[in-house]
Amino acid sequence: IGDEISEPSEYHCGVRQGCLASPILFDFYINDIFSNVLDVDVPGLPNRIPGLLFADDAVVLADSAKNLQTLLNAISAWSDAWEMAVNASKCAIMAINCDDAVEMTLQRQTIRTTDNYTYMGYVMNRKCDVSGTIRNNKLKAQKALYSAYGFLNRSNVLAALKIKLINSDLLLIGCYGCDKFGMSKPRFYPIKKFIYQFTRLVSIIWKGAAKEQIS
C-alpha cells in the first residue's frame, strides 16, 4: 500500500481469493480428477470422454446406474486423497432416456435426483427438450433489455449505437446456446419477437428525433 510492502505469508491450503493466478492454479490442481473415471461413448463425438470439466464445474457421464456409482466412488477417492470437499447440495443426478435415477452417494453424501439441471447457463432436462432454455434466455434478455431501456429510449443517442448494443450484447444473451435450439423459427420466435420490439422502439425514437431536428 503506497510505498509500503506487506510481509509475505504462506498458503498451506487453497488459493488466494482475488489473485489473478488462482483460477489457473486451481485448474492445474483438479486437472486429473477424471484420471480413474471410465470413458463413455457420446453420440456425435469421435472419441470417448469421461465427462465435462470447466473451472470447478464437472459433469460425469455414465451409461448405467452401476457405472455412475463407480465413477462417483472414483471421484470421492480422488477428493479424499487431495483433501477436497465436494458440496453435495450443488450436485444432482439426471437420468436421460432411461429409468429414474436411484439414490447415490458422493463423499458419503447423498446426491439428489432432478428432472432438469442448469449447466453453464444452459437449462437441460431428461427429455432433451429445449423449451426450458428458450424461456430462460428470454427472461435474461428481458432483464438486460429493461436495464438498458433508459439508454435505448434517449433521443440524443445515435440509433447506430443503440443497434450496436442490441446486436453485440443483448442479442447474444437471447441466443446463448442457440446451437442446440437454433435453425428453427418456431422455437426461436419468442426471443426474436421480444428483441424486435426494442428494435422497433429504436426506430420510432430515431424518426421522432429526426422530425424534431427538421422542424
Residue 51 domain-assigned? yes
Look-up of cell digits 450496436: 164
Q: Cα 10 to the chain's mean position, in Å? A: 34
pLDDT of 211 reads 44
Question: Does residue 205 register a pLDDT over 70?
Answer: no
Same domain, 102 and 135: no
Question: Does residue 195 register a pLDDT over 50?
Answer: yes
What value does the mean pLDDT of the chain take?
A: 82
Residue 15 domain-assigned? no
Half-sphere exposure of 103 (CA within 13 A, CB side): 3
Domain that holds residue 90: 22-123
Residues 122-173: tens digit of each pLDDT:
888 888 788 888 888 888 888 888 888 888 778 787 878 888 888 888 888 8
Contacts of 104 (CB under 8 A, 6+ apart): 65, 68, 69, 72, 93, 110, 111
Half-sphere exposure of 146 (CA within 13 A, CB side): 6
Same domain, 104 and 143: no
Quote the cell numbers at residue 94: 439426471
Same domain, 111 and 162: no
At 174, the pLDDT band (50, 70, 90 cuts) reads: confident
Average of pLDDT values for 17-23? 84
Residue 178: left if φ>0, alpha if ψ -120 to 50, beta else—which one? alpha
Same domain, 32 and 93: yes
At 207, the pLDDT band (50, 70, 90 cuts) reads: low
Average of pLDDT values for 209-214? 44
Same domain, 144 and 64: no
Which of 123, 151, 167 terminates a domain? The answer is 123
Run of H or E residues at 93: strand 92-93
Highest mean pLDDT among 77-81, 174-178, 201-205: 77-81
Q: Record the pTM.
A: 0.70
Pick from 59, 81, 73: nearest CA to 109: 73
Residues 40-93: tens digit of each pLDDT:
888 888 889 888 888 888 889 888 888 899 999 999 999 999 988 888 888 999
Burial of 88 (0-12, 13-18, 19+ CB in 10 A): middle
Helix (H, G, I), strand (E, B) or coil at 145: helix
pLDDT of 185 reads 79
The C-alpha atoms of residue 176 and residue 120 are separated, in whole angstroms, by 10
Look-up of cell digits 488462482: 22
Residue 27 domain-assigned? yes
Average of pLDDT values for 34-42? 86
